[in-house]
Amino acid sequence: MVAVAANAAGLHHDLAHGNTLALLMYVMVFFAIWWAWVSYTWFASAYDPQDTSFRLTTFIIMAGVLVLAAGVPLAEAGVDYRMIVIGYMIMRFAMIPLWLRVAQEDPPRRTGARFYALGILVVQALWVAWVLWVPRGTPKMLVVAALAALEMYLPVYAQRFGRTPLHPHHMAERFSLFTIIVLDEVLLATTQGITAVLDIHKLTPELVMLIVGSFLIVVTTWWFYFKTELGDLLTEDCRDVFNLIHFLIFASVAALGAGLGMMVDMVQHEAHLNVTNANMILGSILRSIC
């Protein structure tokens, strides 16, 4: 969650200064966070030995998250992408020995596990090439979109050689917990911003409306997400759709915290954009959640 918080904080700062193009960088960084998490989560749900080697690998992945989070400010500023790519690669490379272990211990899925390991290695090499050798004039977002599509296609193709075990209700629980944590981040970020305003200014009608509105938005989002039992909807044929929908949900909810923080700055008269643009940005975020 530290990486999600860092990414949302950067988006909040950029939106408050009128830099709406920061949404593109936010999505790129969030993809790295989300895909590393979702890949590990699916694996841990299918194969969860809980022995020493597995736990040490998990620690390595956690270290990669910290490196990625440290690189978020530089990446969002468009200055340096190397740190965030290094953090992402640490998380992804750690999956290779896990899949090689599956190839050794799960013969029916050996071919698919080997393809996973090889595919991860190849795609990470392409990320390195993107950071080090892509010419400056090349549209970086197009390259990122192509590599992200390749990352997401990897499990689609690998599953053809043997589907990994699916535990739908366990996976639904993992995704639900992630949603709750992101919603908590939204409340925390908004509360911190409102507290900062109250330290300087008195409670105003605008601030009261913002507090009530923020709370109702978060509660409504939580209500709609948990209205349906996701475990009953998750099947073998909808894994990839399930992942993609949750990318949109997670990224939108985290961006909601940045949008509400921007509105707090508007109340405090510290945002460098007008009310109309601020309402349009927050409205776009809310529509993406819906």
- Tens digits of per-residue pLDDT, 186-240? 777 667 666 766 666 666 777 777 777 777 877 888 888 888 787 777 777 788 8
The fraction of the chain above a pLDDT of 70, given in percent, is 76
Distances (CA, A) of 163 to 39, 97, 181, 234: 14, 19, 29, 14
Distances (CA, A) of 109 to 43, 92, 98, 112, 161: 13, 20, 13, 5, 7
- Classify residue 163 by its DSSP letter: P
Give the model confidence (pLDDT) of 131-164 as tens digits. Answer: 777 655 455 677 888 888 898 888 888 888 878 8
Whether the predicted pLDDT of 271 surpasses 60 = no
Interacting residues of 173 by C-beta distance below 8 A, sequence separation 6+: 231
**How many Å apart are CA 102 and CA 109, to the nearest integer?**
8
User: What is the average per-residue pLDDT within 46-58?
Assistant: 83
Lowest-confidence range among 13-17, 80-84, 252-256? Answer: 13-17
Mean pLDDT of the chain: 77
- Classify residue 237 by its DSSP letter: G
- Residue reference for tokens 């996976």: 171
What's the confidence (pLDDT) of residue 286?
A: 53
Give the rounded distance of the alpha carbon of 49 from its chain centre.
Answer: 26
User: What is the average per-residue pLDDT within 41-53?
Assistant: 83
The fraction of the chain above a pLDDT of 90, given in percent, is 3
Work out the number of other CB atoms within 10 angstroms of the CB of residue 128. 13
Work out the number of other CB atoms within 10 angstroms of the CB of residue 92. 22
Sign of CA dihedral 69, 4, 121, 123: negative
Give the model confidence (pLDDT) of 89-121 as tens digits. Answer: 899 999 999 999 988 888 888 888 888 999 999
What's the confidence (pLDDT) of residue 192?
A: 65
Which one, of 124, 158, 177, 125, lies nearest residue 240 by Cα? 158
